[in-house]
Structure 1
Amino acid sequence: MIGRATSTVSREVRAHSAGGLYLPYQADAAAAAARARPKQSKLVSNQRLREQVKDGLLQRLSPEQISHRLVTDFPDDESMRVSHETIYQALYFQARGGLKKEVAQALRTGRTRRKPHRVPGERYQRFADPMLMISDRPATINDRAVPGHWEGDLIMGALNKSAIATLVERATRYTLLVHLPHGHTAEAVRDGLIATMMTLPAHLRGSLTWDQGAEMAGHQQFSIATDMQVYFCDPASPWQRGTNENTNGLLRQYFPKGTDLSIYGPEDLEHVAQQL
């Protein structure tokens, strides 16, 4: 009648009874006290798990990669499971999570603090050609159920004189890096994206989500050439293409800020993409 197993009810009665009588007020107070006590992190209580996570971080693996690898390496050991969010929490709050600061600094982004999210600004029409916003994107794209939908952006080189276009497929996280030998004008980016996307079969050319950078002024020509709809994020909202944003952070391990990106050819970019 109360939606709990008989064994659960029996255990509760035994724990909070005296003289054969159940003491509900004492039971409630005990439950409140238990909720108030902070739960010990899994990475504090499980030394073996903690050491595996530390080893992964020191190998420059991301928390997501570590979490997936644990399932592969320990398929029958449920104690060797930890979510990537728990690892991030341990890194950002070392005292609670049990990971030392020097290990946190091995995180591939190089940050031990999370970037705050800004509230999106007011919408406006950025380009002359009609734009579709991310709020117009169908649920079939949002839920990542079907491959072929991409997020993209540029990572910039020294003095913003060079760039690489990055493309990440939302369902599989497969990454393509686009060589831009002629700069990052709207025309150069449009042509580079078209050339790269047209190497893919039609069923993997579904849509592209990008921010409202000036490099996408040629989005309509891109859509016509590739038969891919482009969706634009709200201003100052990089988390709306979070898969790509995370990948760009990881790419800085290979292309540090201040680097002249024009020195890297297509073969170099292909090699790096295969490392992710």
Structure 2
Amino acid sequence: MVGVNPRTGREWRYGRPEGRRKRSRLPAKDAPATSTGPGFTRKIEVRSGRYLGEDERIHIADRWREKASVRTIAAELGRNPSTISREIRRNRHPGNHDYRPHAAHARARARRARPKGGKIGANPLLREIIQHRLGMKWSPEQISHHLRLSFPDQAEMHVCHETIYQALYVQGRGELRRELAKALRTGRTLRRPRRRPDQRTPRFPYPMVMISERPPEVADRAVPGHWEGDLIVGKENGSAIGTLVERSSRYVMLVHLPGTRDTMSVRDALVETVSTLPEHLRRSLTWDQGSEMGLHHEFSMATGMPVYFCDPSSPWQRGSNENTNGLLRQYFPKGTDLAAHGRERLKEVAAELNSRPRKTLGWETPAERLAKLLAVAS
């Protein structure tokens, strides 16, 4: 069918016999060595112990035809069972499941050739989609999972999030525009360890209800209507925006604070924002011990929402809100005047966050998850 001699076809399938081996086209450093002895010449493959050799692949083929288990073969070769399983799965024939050692070894040597081009750089469509999503402020992990959902049967369109990070961070690759690194939520082109936030331990005249007294239903996130809140502060602590995150759905609401962030301004702004919610979505609010919540008892009386306070220096007790504040810094960078953003701008940003797929929600959006929870509750 392909127009070759049957003898050539057999060589393609089973490999060329030792006495008829053609001269290698590999560089001298990769050429196999030979060992001579009385009456024979034997090829010795010079390789790293990290990779399977041709003799090991022949052993795998022999034992696989004898119906030996993967673990048995791995024990005989001193290899991990997953190494043998992956080798057979990758190189066996898709039709009859025969494992052909010579062909497998040739493919393995070709795959190890360096340097290799990046997957993103070799696929213009993939590169264009990733650049577009980065421009929309999607994270690399969101882009990675979105590609798998959008192109389920096209392996060439699947990349892990680390591949996208490498295309942005590694110098000289040129797979993604360097300026797109600024679209990442950190705004950095290098990874840095997290820093511990400053400790704050202010106290209020009116008794606080601590997070340890919060009902158990809040912790399991099964019932919607429990919120976490905080402020993000602008340039020289002169402006601020309030943030509210619903624990079950990660739904975001932004609180407009046009003036100062004193206790009365924060109280009035929170009451105004929370009053737009239906009663069954106003179950509780968890806040840190910032001085802006000095009138928390008046807020509770006006809205019917009890306020629970985190322990000092424990931001992880409001993890959803802390994560959201980090996302918001993409839109409201540190050191800028937050008073310049009006109510309409805050609504636009909240709507964009609520329509962005989230890993913790199984790649649903907060708006979709909240709608499901409300439908079940009704």
Whether the TM-score (by the shorter chain) exceeds 0.5 is: yes
| Shift in Å, 1:83 | 7.8
Whole-angstrom distance in 2 between the partners of 1:80 and 1:72: 10
Question: Rg larger in 1 or in 2?
Answer: 2
| Shift in Å, 1:184 | 0.7
| Shift in Å, 1:92 | 11
Q: TM-score normalised to the size of structure 1?
A: 0.70
Say if 1:222 and 1:93 are closer, same or farther in 2 by CA, change over 3 A.
same
**1:13 aligns to 2:72 (yes or no):** yes
- SS, match of residue 244 in structure 1: helix
**1:177 aligns to 2:177 (yes or no):** no
**Which range moved further: 186-195 or 60-69?**
60-69
Q: Is 1:92–1:113's contact at 8 Å kept on the other side of the alignment?
A: no
Whole-angstrom distance in 1 between the partners of 2:285 and 2:160: 28
What is residue 73 of structure 1 aligned with on the other side? 150
What is residue 210 of structure 1 aligned with on the other side? 287
What is residue 41 of structure 1 aligned with on the other side? none
- Residues 75-94 of structure 1: matches in 2 within 5 Å? none
| Shift in Å, 1:120 | 10
**1:232 aligns to 2:309 (yes or no):** yes
Q: 2:224 aligns with which of 140, 147, 159?
A: 147
- SS, match of residue 166 in structure 1: strand
| Shift in Å, 1:90 | 6.1
Q: Is 1:118–1:237's contact at 8 Å kept on the other side of the alignment?
A: no
What is residue 116 of structure 1 aligned with on the other side? 194
Q: Is 2:283–2:306's contact at 8 Å kept on the other side of the alignment?
A: yes
Q: Is 1:120–1:234's contact at 8 Å kept on the other side of the alignment?
A: no
What is residue 187 of structure 1 aligned with on the other side? 264
| Shift in Å, 1:275 | 1.6
Q: Is 2:74–2:81's contact at 8 Å kept on the other side of the alignment?
A: no
Question: Once superposed, what is the RMSD of the aligned Cα atoms?
Answer: 4.0
Give the aligned length. 248
Q: Is 2:202–2:289's contact at 8 Å kept on the other side of the alignment?
A: no
| Shift in Å, 1:87 | 7.7
Whole-angstrom distance in 2 between the partners of 1:261 and 1:109: 18
Q: 1:252 aligns with which of 302, 324, 329?
A: 329
Say if 1:55 and 1:270 are closer, same or farther in 2 by CA, change over 3 A.
closer
- SS, match of residue 165 in structure 1: strand
Q: Is 1:94–1:101's contact at 8 Å kept on the other side of the alignment?
A: no
**1:127 aligns to 2:204 (yes or no):** yes
Whole-angstrom distance in 2 between the partners of 1:114 and 1:139: 36
Whole-angstrom distance in 1 between the partners of 2:195 and 2:227: 22
Provide structure 1 residue ranges, at least 5 long, that are not aligned to the other structure. Answer: 1-6, 18-22, 32-43
- SS, match of residue 250 in structure 2: coil
Whole-angstrom distance in 2 between the partners of 1:14 and 1:137: 56
Q: 2:342 aligns with which of 250, 262, 265?
A: 265
Q: Could you tell me which amino acid in structure 2 is paired with residue 228 of structure 1? A: M
| Shift in Å, 1:148 | 1.3
What is residue 35 of structure 1 aligned with on the other side? none
- SS, match of residue 189 in structure 1: helix
Say if 1:114 and 1:149 are closer, same or farther in 2 by CA, change over 3 A.
farther
Whole-angstrom distance in 2 between the partners of 1:94 and 1:273: 33
Q: Is 1:134–1:231's contact at 8 Å kept on the other side of the alignment?
A: yes
| Shift in Å, 1:60 | 2.0
| Shift in Å, 1:100 | 7.6
Whole-angstrom distance in 1 between the partners of 2:331 and 2:197: 31
- SS, match of residue 16 in structure 1: helix
Whole-angstrom distance in 2 between the partners of 1:124 and 1:162: 21
Deviations 1:29-56 (A, max 9, x none): 999xxxxxxxxxxxx9965798565653
Deviations 1:230-272 (A, max 9, x none): 2222222323322222222222232222332223222221122
Deviations 1:207-230 (A, max 9, x none): 212111100111111122212122
